[in-house]
Amino acid sequence: MRKMTRILLPVLILMLMAFAETPNKYFEISKNIEIFTNLYKELNLYYVDEVDPAKLMRIGVDAMLEHLDPYTNYFSENQIEGWRFMSEGRYEGLGAETKLIDNYLTITDLIDGAPAETSGLKIGDQIIKVDGRSTEGKNKVEVETMMRTVPSPEIKLEVVRIGQKKALPITLTRSEINDSNVPYHGMVADGIGYVILTTFTENAGKNVGDAIRDLKKENPELKGVILDLRNNGGGLLREAVSICNLFIPKDALVVTTRGKVQEWDREFKTTGVTVFPDLPVTVLANKMTASASEIVSGVLQDYDRGIIIGQRTYGKGLVQNTRDIGYNSQLKLTTAKYYIPSGRCIQSVAYQDGEPVDVPDDQRAAFKTRNGRKVLDGGGVTPDIKMDPVDVPDLIGQLEAQNMIFKYVNSYQQSHESIGDPQEFRFDDFEGFIQFLQTYGFVYHNPAYRKLDEAVAVMEKDRQSDYLPQLQQLQNELTQNNDAVFNADKEIILKTIASQIIARYYPEKDKILYKLRHDNEVKKAIEVLEDANGYQQILAGK
C-alpha cells in the first residue's frame, strides 16, 4: 500500500490543480480521477494474478498520452538520462552507440573523449559481463540499468574483442558525458565554409558562432557558410534565438509562442549585435529537420537572410515544457505553438501513426517574407531550392538490419593494420564482400518476396495449400534476380562500407569529411554561394 500511495500521489495533485477549472469541468475531472483511483486500487488488491503496480500505471499513462500529440511524453526515473541528453546534451553513461548483435550488446560507435573510449573500449567489442554479471540476451536499457546499480564510480566490464576468444577486462570510470553539438566545421571549397549542428543543446549558438569565427580567421576572404541542420531534431529555444542572432540584427523578432494560458504567451527577440551581418548563408534541411531547426530555417527565410536547400522540414511547431511530477519523473507536455516573423506556424496540422501528414501546398495558408516572397504555413519549411532526397536502397537496409556490413568491417579491420589517409581512402573489393555474404549465408529478400512470405504464412495457417507451390516458385524467381540488385546498388554499398571502415581508424570528423565529398546537397550549396548574383536574386524572389 505504501508503493500504491507513492504512485497515486501525482493523481491527487492533479485533483488539486483541477480547482482552477470551471465548476462543471472540475466535477468531470474529479469524478473521473476518483473512478480511475478506485479501479486502480481494486485491480491491485483483488485481481487473480499478481500485477506490477508501476507497470500497470505506465500502461495507463501511455494510453492516455497517445490521444494527444506525439511530443507529450512521460519520462520515468529510468528514462531520465535519455531525457537529459535530449534537452541538455549531457548524461552519464558509456558514451557509445550500441546494438544487440549475436546476443550481446556490441559497441558500434564511440564518442570522442567519452568514458567508453578513454577506458579502452573499441568498436566491435561485445560486453559479456558487468560487475561479474552476465549480459547475455540483455538489450541496451537492461545493460545500462546494470551499470547504474554498480555502487562504485568504477564499473568492471568483460568484453570479447574482434578476433580474440578470451574475455578482456575493462574498467570504465563513470562520468558525465558532454556530446559535442558541432562535431565538425571546416572548408569544403575555396572560400566556402561548412558547419554541422546536430542538436540544439547547451551552447549551440556559441559553438556555431565560434566555428564560423574559426573559419573566418583561417580564411579572411570567406565567401559564405553552409549550416547543416539535416536530421537535427531541435532542442532548446534559446539556442535557436542565439543562432538567429548570428545573422539578424538586435531586437529582431525571432518567434512568438501562443497557447491556452495567455499569460504564458511570449515574444523572443535577438538581444545582441549581429555577429555576421553580411555573410551569405545556406541552410541544409530535410524531412528530419525539426522544431528549433525549423525555427532557424524559417526565420532566415522570413528575413531573406539565407537560402534553404533540400527537402521540406518535419513540421514541428509546438512548444514543450517539462513538469516535475515527483519521484524523479518528468512530464513533457505541449503548451503552445511557435509563430515565426512572417506570421506563419510551421506545425503540421495532422498526424498518422505519430508522424506528420504531408499537407498539399494548396491547403496551406500563404505568407510573405520581408522581400515579398511567398511562403507557406501548416507543415514545415519549404526549401528555396528543392532537391530529391537520397533514398537508402532496400538492400542496404537489409544488410544493416542483419549486421552484415558491420561484421564485414570487423573482418576487414583484423587484416588491415591501417588504411592511410582517410580522405584518399577507397574501398573497391566488391567481390570480397559478396563472398563474405555467401560465407555467412546472407540471401537478399526484396519487399515483394517478404510480402509473399506473409501470404504463405496465412495460407499455411488456414491450411490452404493449393497455391503454395506457385507462391514459392515466384519467390525463387525473385531471389534469382539478386545479382542485378547488388550490381545496381554497388556504388552505395562500397561507399557505406568505406565510411564504416574510416570510423574504425579515425575520429568522427574524418567520417563526416568522407561523406561530404559525396554529398550532392553540399555541392549545390557550394554552387549557390559561389554565385553571388544568383544568391541575391533568389533572396529577391527573381
* Residue appearing with cell numbers 497557447: 259
Q: Rounded to whole angstroms, how far apart are CA atoms 524 and 383?
A: 13
Q: Which residues pair with 418 in a beta bridge?
A: none
Q: Is 377 a catalytic residue?
A: no
* 3-state class percentages of the chain: helix first, strand second, coil last, to nearest 5: 45, 20, 35
User: Catalytic residue among 316, 329, 342, 499, which?
Assistant: 316
User: Catalytic residue among 125, 179, 242, 291, which?
Assistant: 291
Distances in Å between the Cα of 110 and the Cα atoms of 67, 203, 312, 476, 496 are 37, 22, 31, 41, 18
Q: Rounded to whole angstroms, how far apart are CA atoms 454 and 460?
A: 10
Distances in Å between the Cα of 282 and the Cα atoms of 58, 285, 339, 434 are 44, 10, 22, 40
Q: Rounded to whole angstroms, how far apart are CA atoms 319 and 346?
A: 12
DSSP summary character for residue 391: P
Q: Residue 378 region, left (φ>0) first, then alpha (ψ -120 to 50), else beta?
A: left
Q: Rounded to whole angstroms, how far apart are CA atoms 387 and 313?
A: 12
Distances in Å between the Cα of 313 and the Cα atoms of 44, 200, 380 are 46, 16, 5
Q: What values do phi and psi take at 159, rounded to 5?
A: -130, 155
What is the end-to-end Cα distance of the chain in Å, rounded?
A: 71
Q: At what angle do helices 430-439 and 490-505 cross, to 10 degrees?
A: 90
Residue 235 has which C-alpha cell? Answer: 532542442
Q: Is 291 a catalytic residue?
A: yes
Strands (E), 37-110: 73-75, 90-92, 96-101, 104-110
| DSSP β-ladder status, 385-386 and 307-310 | parallel
Q: Is 342 a catalytic residue?
A: no
Tally of CB atoms within 10 A around 506: 17
* Residue appearing with cell numbers 507497470: 55
Amino acid at site 157: L
Q: Rounded to whole angstroms, how far apart are CA atoms 227 and 250?
A: 21
Alpha carbon dihedral 343, 347, 350, 354, in 10-degree steps, equals: 180
User: Reduced to 3 states, what is the DSSP secondary structure of residue 99?
Assistant: strand
Q: What values do phi and psi take at 105, rounded to 5?
A: -65, 125
Residues tagged active-site: 291, 302, 316
